[in-house]
Amino acid sequence: MTVDAGTGLAGLRIAHLIESDGPGGAERVVATLATTLQTFGAQNVAFLPAGGEGWLERQLEGSGVEVEHFRLERPLSECARSITAAFRRHHVDVAHSHEFSMAVYGAWASWRAGVPHVVTMHGSRYYAGRFRRRLALRIALALSGRTVAVSNSLADNLSQDLWIPRGRISMISNGVRYARATSTTLREELRLTPKDRLLVSVGNLYPVKGHTHLVDAMRLLIARHPTVHLAISGRGELAEALTAQARDNGIADRVHLLGLRSDVAAILAAADVFVLPSLSEGLPLALLEAMVAGCPIVASEVGEVSAVLEQGAAGVLVPPGDTRALAAALDRVLGDVHLGRTLGERAACRAGAEYDVSHMVRQYAAAYNELLRHGA
Q: Is the pLDDT of residue 147 over 70?
A: yes
Quickly state the pLDDT bin for 2 (edges 50, 70, 90).
Answer: very low
Q: Is the pLDDT of residue 181 over 80?
A: no
Q: Which tops the pLDDT comparison, 181 or 161?
A: 161
Cα–Cα distance measured from residue 192 to residue 195, given in angstroms and rounded to the nearest whole number: 8
Which ranges in the chain are annotated with CATH 3.40.50.2000? 13-175+356-374, 186-354
Give the confidence band of 376 by pLDDT, cuts at 50, 70, 90.
Answer: low
Residue 291 has pLDDT above 50, yes or no: yes
pLDDT-derived band at 251 (thresholds 50, 70, 90) equals very high
Q: Are 343 and 315 in contact (CB under 8 A)?
A: yes
Residue 177: pLDDT band (50, 70, 90) is confident
13-175+356-374: CATH topology is Rossmann fold (3.40.50)
Mean pLDDT, range 176-196, rounded to an integer: 87
What pLDDT, on the 0 to 100 scale, is given for residue 1? 44
Q: Tens of pLDDT along 118-142?
A: 999 998 777 778 899 999 999 999 9
For residue 100, pLDDT beyond 80: yes
Report the pLDDT value the prediction gives residue 11, as an integer from 0 to 100.
Answer: 85
φ and ψ at 102, to 5 degrees? -75, -20
How far is Cα 334 from Cα 225, in angstroms, rounded to an integer? 8
User: pLDDT for 307-363, tens place per residue?
Assistant: 999 999 999 999 999 999 999 999 999 999 999 999 999 999 999 999 999 999 999
> 34-50, pLDDT tens digit by residue?
999 999 999 999 999 99
Please say if the pLDDT value at position 7 is more than 70. Answer: no
Report pLDDT digits (tens) over 197-228.
Answer: 999 999 999 999 999 999 999 999 999 999 99
pLDDT computed for residue 5 by the predictor:
43
pLDDT at residue number 8: 56
Q: Is the pLDDT of residue 72 over 70?
A: yes
Q: What is the pLDDT of residues 295-321, one digit of tens each?
A: 999 999 998 999 999 999 999 999 999
Please provide the average confidence, as pLDDT, over all residues in the chain.
92
Burial 107-136 (b: 16+ CB within 10 A, else e): bbbbebbebbbbbbbbbbbebbeeeebbeb
**What's the confidence (pLDDT) of residue 123?**
80
Hey, what amino acid is at 233?
S
The CATH class of 186-354 is alpha beta
Mean pLDDT of 83-103: 96
